[in-house]
Structure 1
Amino acid sequence: MSTTSAAPAEVSTRRRWAMLAASTLAQAAAAVMIHGPGFLMHALDEQGGLTLAEAGLVAAAPLVGVVLTLVLWGSVVDRCGERFVLLTGLTATVATGALASAVDGVALLAMALLLAGAAAASTASASGRVVVGWFPPERRGLAMGVRQMAQPVGVGVAAISIAVVAERHGVSTALWVPTAAAALAAVVVAAVVVDPPRPDRRTTPAPNPYRADLYLARIHGVSVLLVVPQFLVWTFALLWLIADRGWSAGAAGAVVLAAQVLGALGRIAAGWLSDVVGARMRPLRWVAVGAGASMALLAVAAGLDAAVAVPLVVVATVVTVADNGLAFTAVAERAGPSWSGRALGVQNTAQYVAASAVPPVAGLAVTHWGYAAAFGLAALFPLVAAPFVPVREERALT
Structure 2
Amino acid sequence: MHVVPSSLSAPVRVPVRLWFLLGAMVLAQAATTVVAAAPAFLIPYLHEHEGLSLATAGLLAGAPNLGLVLALVAWGAATDRFGERRVILIGLALTGATVAAAMLADGLGALGIALVACGAASACTNSASGRLITGWFPTERRGLAMGIRQTCQPLGMAIAALGVPPLALAFGVSAALGLGGALVVLSFVVCVLLVRDPARPPRAAAAESGSPYRASNSLVRIHAASMLLVVPQFALSTFGLVWFTVGFGWSALAAGALVAFSQFAGAAGRIVVGIWSDRAGSRLRPLRIVAIAGVVTLAAAAGFGWLEWGIPAAVLYVIASCVSVADNGLAFTAVAEIAGPSWAGRALGFQNTGQFLAAAAVGPAVGAAIGVIGIPAALALVALTPALAVPLVPKPSAELVRA
Give yes or no for TM over 0.5.
yes
CA contact (8 A) 1:60 1:360 kept: no
Can you list the C-alpha shifts for 1:20-46, whole angstroms capped at 9, x where unaligned? 111121122222223343444444554
CA-CA distance at 1:375 after TM superposition? 3.6
Contact 1:52 1:363 in 2 (8 A): no
Alignment of 1:325-344 (within 5 A): 325-344=329-348
What is the one-letter code of the residue matched to 1:220? H
Question: In the alignment, what sits opposite 1:349?
Answer: 353
| Equivalent of 1:114 in 99, 113, 116 | 116
The yes-or-no answer on 1:212 pairing with 2:215 is: yes
Determine the structure 2 residue equivalent to 1:313: 317
Alpha-carbon distance, 1:164 to partner: 5.0
Cα displacement (A) at 1:112: 2.6
Q: What is residue 9 of structure 2 aligned with on the other side?
A: none
Does 327-336 or 141-150 show the bigger shift? 141-150
Question: Aligned in 2, Cα 1:140/1:277: closer, same or farther, shift over 3 Å?
Answer: same
Kept after mapping to 2: 8 A contact 1:60/1:357: no
Q: What residue identity is the alignment partner of 1:199?
A: P
Q: Aligned in 2, Cα 1:291/1:63: closer, same or farther, shift over 3 Å?
A: farther
1:150 corresponding residue in structure 2 = 152
Q: Report Cα offsets for 1:171-205 as digits up to 9, x if no partner.
A: 54433332222222112111110011111113553
* Aligned-partner Cα distance in 2 for 1:176–1:165: 9
Q: 1:229 aligns with which of 229, 232, 246?
A: 232
Equivalent residue number for residue 201 of structure 2: 199
Counterpart for residue 162 of structure 1 = 164
Question: Is 1:383 aligned to residue 377 of structure 2?
Answer: no
C-alpha separation between the residues in 2 aligned to 1:200 and 1:351?
31
Range with bigger deviation, 283-292 or 303-312: 303-312
Whole-Å separation in 2 of the counterparts to 1:68 and 1:305: 43
1:260 is matched with: 263
Give the C-alpha shift of residue 353 in structure 1: 1.4
Give yes or no for contact 2:337–2:399 (8 Å, CA) kept in 1.
Answer: no
Residue type of the partner of 1:67? V
- TM-score, normalization by structure 1: 0.86
Q: 1:243 to 1:183 in 2, by over 3 A?
A: farther
Question: Residue 53 of structure 1 contacts residue 363 of structure 1 at CA under 8 Å; is this kept in 2?
Answer: no
Shift in Å at residue 247 of structure 1? 4.1
Of 56, 77, 83, the match for 2:79? 77
1:175 aligns to what SS in structure 2? helix
Aligned-pair CA distance for 1:376:
3.8
SS at match of 1:321: helix
Partner amino acid, structure 2, of 1:126:
A
Tell me how far apart the structure 1 counterparts of residues 85 and 65 of structure 2 sit (CA, whole Å). 23
Q: 1:274 and 2:277 equivalent?
A: yes
For residue 326 of structure 2, what is the aligned residue in structure 1?
A: 322
1:295 match: 298
- 8 Å CA contact 2:72–2:353 kept in 1: the answer is yes
Separation in structure 2 between the aligned mates of residue 362 and residue 56 of structure 1, nearest angstrom: 17
What secondary structure sits across from 2:263 in the alignment?
helix
Contact 2:73–2:353 (CA under 8 A) maintained in structure 1: yes
**Fraction of identical pairs, as percent:** 49
Task: Decide which moves more: 170-179 or 18-27.
Answer: 170-179
Determine if contact 2:334/2:399 at 8 Å carries over to the other structure: no
Q: Counterpart of 1:395 in 2: which secondary structure?
A: helix
User: Does the CA-based 8 Å contact 1:222-1:388 persist in structure 2?
Assistant: yes
From 124, 131, 134, the equivalent of 2:133 is 131
- Secondary structure of the equivalent of 2:203? coil
Taking the aligned partners of 1:138 and 1:74, their CA distance within structure 2 comes to 24
Aligned partner letter, 2:158: G
Amino acid aligned to 2:335: V
Aligned with 1:13 (options 12, 15, 18): 15
- Aligned residue for 1:359? 363
1:79 shift after superposition: 1.2
- Provide the C-alpha distance between the structure 2 equivalents of 1:104 and 1:362, rounded to a whole number of angstroms: 35
1:96, 1:115 within 8 Å by CA — same for their partners in 2? yes
Q: Distance in 2 between matches of 1:57 and 1:373?
A: 29
Q: Give the residue type in structure 1 aligned to 2:351.
A: Q
CA contact (8 A) 1:56 1:360 kept: no
1:11-50 aligned at under 5 Å gives the runs 13-47=15-49
- Could you say if the C-alpha distance between residues 87 and 237 of structure 1 is closer, same or farther in structure 2, counting changes exceeding 3 Å? farther
Q: What amino acid does structure 1 have at the position aligned with 2:157?
A: V
1:188 aligned partner: 190
CA distance in 2 between counterparts of 1:107 and 1:101 reads 13
Distance 1:228 1:23 in 2: 26
* TM-score (normalizing by structure 2): 0.85
Matched letter for residue 331 of structure 2 = A
Q: Aligned-pair RMSD on alpha carbons?
A: 3.0
Letter in 2 for 1:384: L
Output one character per residue of 1:40-71: Cα deviation in whole Å (capped at 9) or x when no partner. Answer: 44445544666666554433322221110111
Contact 1:63/1:355, CA 8 A, preserved across alignment = no
